[in-house]
Amino acid sequence: MSEEIKKEERSLNFLEEIIEEDLKTGKYQSIVTRFPPEPNGYLHIGHASSICLNFGLTQKFPGYTNLRFDDTNPVTEETEYVESIKEDVRWLGFEWKNERFASDYFDNLYAFALKLINNGLAYVDDSTAEEMAVLKGTPTEPGKDSIYRTRSIEENKDLFTKMKNGEFPDGSRTLRAKIDMQHINMLMRDPILYRIKHAHHHRTGDKWCIYPMYDFAHGQSDSIEEVTHSICTMEFVPHRELYDWLIKNLEIYPSHQYEFARRNINYTVTSKRKLLQLVTEKHVTGWDDPRMPTISGLRRRGYTPKSIRDFCDRIGVAKRDNMVDVGLLEFCLREDLNKIALRRMVVFDPIKVIITNYESDGEVLHSENNSEDEKGGIRDISFSKEIYIESNDFMEVAPKKYFRLAPGQMVRLKSAYIIKCDEVIKDADGNITELHCSYIPESKSGSDTSEIKVKGTLHWVNAADAVEIEVREYDRLFQVEDPTDEEGDFKDYINPDSLKVVKGFAEPALKEAKLDDRFQFIRKGYYCLDKESVDDKLVFNRTVTLKDGWMKDQKKN
């Protein structure tokens, strides 16, 4: 209830305001949005923002959202990407009303082109790409008309038909809109509508050898689907004039384009071209490498859909350039994981502890799966005379306010007993080999009558049945906030320590881990099973560390 109120009270973003106004004035009874990926790469965190926006709008207001693949360039697009995109959108928690492809509309688009030709608003140009570039002018100089601009309607029709019929080689001719070569907006200087590409299309096969350009497909597809609010990023602002020109001259359903600023996140890149480079040049293991900002990478890393949706919600939408701190993404992640992750104990860099006064063969203790979740239940953990603790949880010479184990100092073993360090055992070279401790029998977790107060609680594992696991510790992929803004190649700034593979000794309960489980290795971080994990070699990914105030203090001093 209180959450609902909070939602209602939250102010609208500029797109929601536009929509609310459109609904209020009766311009629309309901709205239609679309998420329009090109199937030439995997979706990344930037797309998640667009997905949440487009689908979120039609959850908030009456209407629906289509998934439409912008597949007008057969040489770069593949079915593999279509499938991954669908999987990612679903995983994020959204369902589209209609699944469409721009290629579904190739016949309509061809007819639209004919209509423009018939109205004297499009012509076939025989210029080469180089000639066209010269005639196009520059942002500060007007362009010049092509000599083919004045062809007759009949000739244009004939030539365009022959283009379609495959009578010309690639690149030899284009169909262009006849607008204004002097136009201040470069996109209005007779933009190319169709180009010849004798290429196999992932859906239409070899039916076509001419393919429409983005500007002659996107807005038209919007219009065919009666999309009311076509939302795209700011770099398309100059395209809007052409978008509107085509809709007006084609006399088709008037969809409208609105632009927002794409979200940038520091310490990563979100450009398909750059991500593709990271994959093909093997800087990462693949599109779903847990260091990648792709949806599939984040998924494998252990991010939850909820945390990503929450992140997109929190960063909002506006029109100004931005660089969002990846720390916010991690905050959203931790917030969700804290509530759902199963607590487990794993020791990474073990040091043996012998509990000298523990006489029993061992016992089974109990620990809550998640102290944040009353319904999370408890699990068994075995305890005995020999255990491992983290070697950096012990210091022979402890500084002030060190709450961990040190000679003569007491700590609690999580869900077990309070122990005191009596003796430090070393080898001939002076390296610590084990610690001899004594335990307080009355301090057993849950039935503590010792009245001893300790400041520190350590995680530990039972030496006898600890399971060795592999842990992949991931860190940010880049060393600088904005790799594309630095001198030289962005790849020069890749963090060489973005992956560290370490060993861990886990409590046996982790053998039951499933791919969808989320764990918190107590006092360490959040982890999940990796898809490469097998029964006799468990592999975990570190999703994100726990916040570490102690470490921060240490670094300051």
Residues known to be catalytic: 38, 262, 272
**Window 467-486: residues binding RNA (CB under 7 A):** none
- Which listed range, 200-208, 318-326, 424-432, 530-538, lies at the site for RNA (CB under 7 A)? 318-326
Going from the C-alpha of 2 to that of each of 9, 16, 302, 306, the distances in angstroms are 11, 22, 30, 19
- Identify which of 346, 380, 345, 351 has the alpha carbon closest to the alpha carbon of residue 363: 380
- In 3-state terms the chain splits into helix, strand, coil percentages (rounded to 5) of 35, 25, 40
Comparison of 59 and 371: residue with beta carbon closer to RNA: 371
Going from the C-alpha of 229 to that of each of 127, 232, 257, the distances in angstroms are 36, 10, 6
**Window 183-212: residues binding RNA (CB under 7 A):** 184-187, 192, 195-197, 211
Residue selected from 128, 152, 182, 449 as contacting RNA according to rule CB under 7 A: 128
The CB-of-285 to RNA minimum distance in angstroms stands at 26
Residue 332: phi and psi, rounded to 5, are -60, -40
Distance, CA of 339 to CA of 281 (rounded, Å): 38
Comparison of 160 and 499: residue with beta carbon closer to RNA: 160
Terminal-residue alpha carbon distance, the chain: 46
**Paired tokens of 268:** 């990563």
User: Does residue 525 contact residue 546 with C-beta atoms inside 8 Å?
Assistant: yes
- Which listed range, 47-55, 65-73, 113-121, 535-543, lies at the site for RNA (CB under 7 A)? 65-73
- Which listed range, 25-33, 50-58, 323-331, 506-514, lies at the site for RNA (CB under 7 A)? 323-331
**Window 147-186: residues binding RNA (CB under 7 A):** 170-174, 184-186
Residue selected from 7, 24, 282, 320 as contacting RNA according to rule CB under 7 A: 320
Comparison of 220 and 289: residue with beta carbon closer to RNA: 220
User: Does residue 61 contact residue 54 with C-beta atoms inside 8 Å?
Assistant: no
Comparison of 184 and 502: residue with beta carbon closer to RNA: 184
138 binds RNA (CB under 7 A): yes
463 binds RNA (CB under 7 A): no
Distance, CA of 244 to CA of 246 (rounded, Å): 6
Distance, CA of 25 to CA of 4 (rounded, Å): 26
How many residues would you count in the chain?
Answer: 557
The CB-of-376 to RNA minimum distance in angstroms stands at 10
**Window 244-303: residues binding RNA (CB under 7 A):** 261
CA R_g for the chain: 31
Comparison of 58 and 409: residue with beta carbon closer to RNA: 409
100 binds RNA (CB under 7 A): no
Comparison of 62 and 171: residue with beta carbon closer to RNA: 171
CB proximity list for 7: less than 8 A, separation 6 or greater:
none
The CB-of-498 to RNA minimum distance in angstroms stands at 20
Residue selected from 324, 354, 480, 539 as contacting RNA according to rule CB under 7 A: 324
The CB-of-61 to RNA minimum distance in angstroms stands at 15
Residue 38: phi and psi, rounded to 5, are -90, 130
334 binds RNA (CB under 7 A): yes
Distance, CA of 10 to CA of 213 (rounded, Å): 40
Binding pattern to RNA, positions 406-445, x when CB under 7 A?
------x-xx---------------------------xxx
Distance, CA of 557 to CA of 337 (rounded, Å): 31
50 binds RNA (CB under 7 A): no
Residue selected from 80, 90, 254, 318 as contacting RNA according to rule CB under 7 A: 318
238 binds RNA (CB under 7 A): yes
Residue selected from 139, 408, 488, 496 as contacting RNA according to rule CB under 7 A: 139
- Identify which of 220, 243, 297 has the alpha carbon closest to the alpha carbon of residue 41: 297
The CB-of-283 to RNA minimum distance in angstroms stands at 21
Distance, CA of 114 to CA of 118 (rounded, Å): 6
Comparison of 457 and 499: residue with beta carbon closer to RNA: 457
Helix orientation angle between 326-340 and 305-315, rounded to the nearest 10 degrees: 140
The CB-of-205 to RNA minimum distance in angstroms stands at 17
**Window 360-389: residues binding RNA (CB under 7 A):** 370-372
